Homo-oligomer: A and B are copies of this chain.
Amino acid sequence: MAILARAKAMQAAGRDVIHLEVGEPDFATPEPVVAAGVAALRAGQTHYTPALGLPELRAAIAGYYARRYAVDVDPGRVAVTPGASGALLLVMAALFNPGEEVLLADPGYPCNRHFARVVEAVGVGVPVGPESGFQLTATLVEQHWGERTRGVLVANPGNPTGTVIPVAELRAIHEVVKRRGGWLIVDEIYHELIYEADEPSAAALGDDVIVVNSFSKYFLMTGWRLGWLLAPAWLMPDIDKLAQNLFLAAPTPAQYAALAAFGDATRVILEGHKAELRRRRDALLPELARLGFGLPVKPDGAFYVYADISCFATDAEQFAASLLDASGVAITPGRDFGRHGADRHVRFAYTTSLARITEALARLDVFLRG
């Protein structure tokens, strides 16, 4: 966050800053989605929807699981939310009492700890490293399950590492969590951005798994603020009441626009962008290695590379700040994602064009040789 503010200040002062710190792709919302949004506005679709979302969007999301993942999801188990942020807040509020703990990977998405904290639950960071692809494992969950542990939250693929949990491992985690009588929450907001394999959704593990997803990343609807969750049927009345009380409902124009997100025309556009992201990753990775960055894991998906800077420095925050000042290249220090190994790592986000990434790499080269 400090880097982001500094990068903006530099830019405002006229410096050319290359943004490799931004967790938002540079692509526009697909035209069919924009057109659906415009049509909704023109048709006066600006009133509240039900708290759990438009029935037709909940049905469309259920249909998406059937088509994309061959999983049968009852639309009644779908809640449309103001972003994945809204989904995670709802889930934390619905599942955890004050003082109860949820296990999270460290490094991991920093807001998750805050969603827990705002409902006075506790996000407990479990140190993870390259040996588990920076993800939790069944063994780690077993080891760290304590008296007050009530659940596990994993992101698949993860942020900042882009790594996927092997399906057998995820199933094993689920088994441990079930045996302990806890909750498994799987954040799949980058799940459509897995480049090689065709991974199953955690929705296939069972109706008891809480799955969180979003129209932001793959569907390129960041600013529309729309996400969803799947929860067990018996939990939905609680989720409904909480959503009603906390949000009233997700934004209506966004919900109508999202009806076009699952169409074939949109899919073609999105798959084109996904291919472009993959090209960026494949261009960035070998060059970072050549420059001397450690690449402890190969990112399977998302749009992040988590890199080890031990060859160059001992303080990643200082490294990122110096790089920004000297070269106008903004990256995110590990500290933003937790504590474990944070000083040795930085995150590169390939959310800008190949040309800009190439320019950033050239600047990095100069910076590192200086």
> Which A residues form the contact surface with B (CB < 8 A)?
1, 24, 28-29, 34, 37-38, 41-42, 44-49, 82-83, 85-86, 89, 93, 98, 110-111, 114-115, 118-120, 220-225, 242, 244-254
Contacts and interface: CB of A to CB of B under 8 A. Distances in A.
A221 B316 CA distance: 45
Contacts of A242: 114, 118
Nearest to A241: B1
A114 B247 CA distance: 11
A171 to B, nearest CB: 31
Closest 5 CB pairs of A and B: A223-B252, A114-B245, A120-B120, A29-B46, A46-B223
30 contacts: A24-B47, A28-B44, A34-B42, A34-B44, A38-B42, A45-B223, A48-B222, A49-B223, A82-B225, A83-B247, A85-B246, A85-B248, A86-B247, A89-B246, A98-B98, A98-B120, A111-B244, A111-B245, A114-B242, A115-B245, A118-B119, A118-B242, A118-B246, A119-B120, A222-B252, A223-B252, A224-B251, A225-B251, A225-B252, A253-B253
B253 A224 contact: yes
Contact of A246 (B114, B222, B249): B114
Q: For the complex formed by this chain, how many copies does it contain in all?
A: 2
B248 A225 contact: yes
Most B-side CB within 10 Å, residue of A28, A222, A253? A253
Most B-side CB within 10 Å, residue of A47, A85, A223, A224? A223
Contacts of A249: 223, 225
A270 B93 CA distance: 37
Contacts of A44: 28-29, 34
B41 A37 contact: yes
B46 A222 contact: yes
Contacts of A47: 24, 222-223
B29 A246 contact: no
Given A46-B223, A118-B119, A224-B253, 18 more contacts: A24-B47, A28-B46, A41-B41, A47-B223, A48-B222, A82-B247, A83-B247, A98-B98, A111-B245, A114-B246, A223-B249, A223-B251, A223-B253, A224-B251, A225-B225, A225-B247, A225-B248, A225-B251
A152 B247 CA distance: 22
B41 A34 contact: yes
Contact of A38 (B41, B114, B244): B41
B85 A221 contact: no
A55 to B, nearest CB: 11
A255 B86 CA distance: 18
A144 B82 CA distance: 36
A126 to B, nearest CB: 20
Contacts of A224: 46, 251-253
